[in-house]
Amino acid sequence: MSKIVLVTGGNRGIGLAIAREFLANGDTVIVTSRSGEPVAGLNVVTCDVSDTASVDAAFTKVETEFGPIQVLVANAGITRDKLLVRMSDDDIDEVLNTNLVGAIRVARRASRPMTQAKSGRIIFISSVVALAGSAGQVNYAASKAGLIGVARSLAREHGPRNITVNVVAPGFIDTDMTAVLSDDRKAQIVSNIPLGRYGSATEVAQSVVFLASDAAQYITGALIPVDGGLGMGH
């Protein structure tokens, strides 16, 4: 059965791949972006996840035009990478407010209609960095690690209402963000990945679509790494 799916930050990279995978699955897909610029083949709504009023306005618009959101993918995120001794308060606050608090905001707003319907799927997009750590990414690692605690707490809250809450943690994925790395850095990263290659955004997207499917209805509070084995043991 077709579902109404909202993907935050779904206008590029992994978020866009997730949106397109749901679309290929026959679902009604809406993506959010701060700019609200059109994305070919997808419904777009303007939303700044760091602002509660913007989140509420975006959800209200989607609900009015398409109906209650049945699947939320909290994917929106930013980076402000630098060593901690050089990291400003703004670098810390902006990353945490977007990646962690922003995800909490959208999950809170999505939870209301899901609770009423006694059905729903919430999927947070974390990162292997949350598990393994990464120099220069203290703020980002903290924000992505926090999502795991959020998801597992929310899974306990929502379990009696038939709402599942899970986390997907991508590793190094071939996107525009990783394309800027030097060849030496790419080779160093790949040497630490048991499968010996970068992942694709589509591989991450397929895991997310699975968690939203009937086949995953007994999975909640789970963390699924899509990282080629990079984060094993964490």
Catalytic residues: 140
Instruction: Report the distance separating Cα 211 and Cα 166, nearest Å.
Output: 8
CB-based contact 153:161 (threshold 8 Å): no
For residue 105, how many other CB atoms are within 10 A of its CB?
Answer: 24
CB-based contact 124:151 (threshold 8 Å): yes
Residue with tokens 């984060």: 231
Residue 106, CA distances (Å) to 8, 9, 56, 109, 225 in order: 9, 12, 8, 5, 22
Instruction: Report the distance separating Cα 116 and Cα 101, nearest Å.
Output: 23
- Amino acid letter for position 39: V
Strand runs (DSSP E) across 75-222, as ranges?
120-125, 163-170
Using a 10 angstrom Cβ sphere, with 0-12 exposed, 13-18 middle and 19 or more buried, the burial of residue 119 is: middle
